[in-house]
Amino acid sequence: MDAVEKLIIKDECQALSLRFGRLQDERRYEELPKLMTPDGTYSRLGEELTIVDFIEWVGTMPPNKTRHFVTSTEINIIDEFNANGLTYYTLYLYGGDENPPYPLNGPFVVGEYHEIFSKKEDGWRIKHREARIIFKRQNEE
């Protein structure tokens, strides 16, 4: 595998990771399976969910306004069909009824996405995405 092929893999995998957060912020959950392998899973709070179960779960969340701010994804290419990645994220969340600009009290959580990518016939997809919370806002009294 030459340098150009490696750059293409890194770019395609990073684009998947970035798009996932954007679709969540826009509440376009029905598009998430297009980013994942058919057997793709999402882990959050120690629970591993199929993508269908994840979409069902996020569909039950209140209609908060969110923004996922993410770093570039560090991609580790295993071979021409497998890679993994690490992305740091900061999640901002507002649950009120005001119009933008929304009040800001700092990030809701800061964490890491640990991802496994697989190349399929139709291109690179996320096989597994795990959200690990590293910092969490303290309850405000």
| CATH number of domain containing 88 | 3.10.450.50
Question: Where residue 4 falls among pLDDT bands split at 50, 70, 90?
Answer: very high
Domain boundaries, position 117? 3-136
Query: String of b and e for 23-56 (b: at least 16 CB within 10 Å)?
Result: bbeeeebeebbebbbeebbbebeeeebebeebbe
Mean pLDDT, the chain, integer? 93
pTM: 0.90
The verdict on residue 96 lying in a domain is yes
The model's pLDDT over 85-118, given as tens digits with 9 standing for 90+, comes to 999 999 999 988 888 999 988 999 999 999 999 9
Q: N- to C-terminal Cα distance for the chain?
A: 55
- Region 34-63: what's the mean pLDDT? 91
- Our count of domains for the chain comes to 1
Query: According to the model, what pLDDT value does residue 60 have?
Result: 87
Q: Which of 113, 112, 122 is nearest to 37 (CA)?
A: 122
Query: According to the model, what pLDDT value does residue 37 have?
Result: 96
**What percent of the chain shows pLDDT beyond 90?**
78
The verdict on residue 141 lying in a domain is no
Question: Is pLDDT of 141 > 60?
Answer: no
User: Exposed, middle or buried, 57 (CB in 10 Å: 0-12/13-18/19+)?
Assistant: middle
Question: Is pLDDT of 140 > 70?
Answer: no
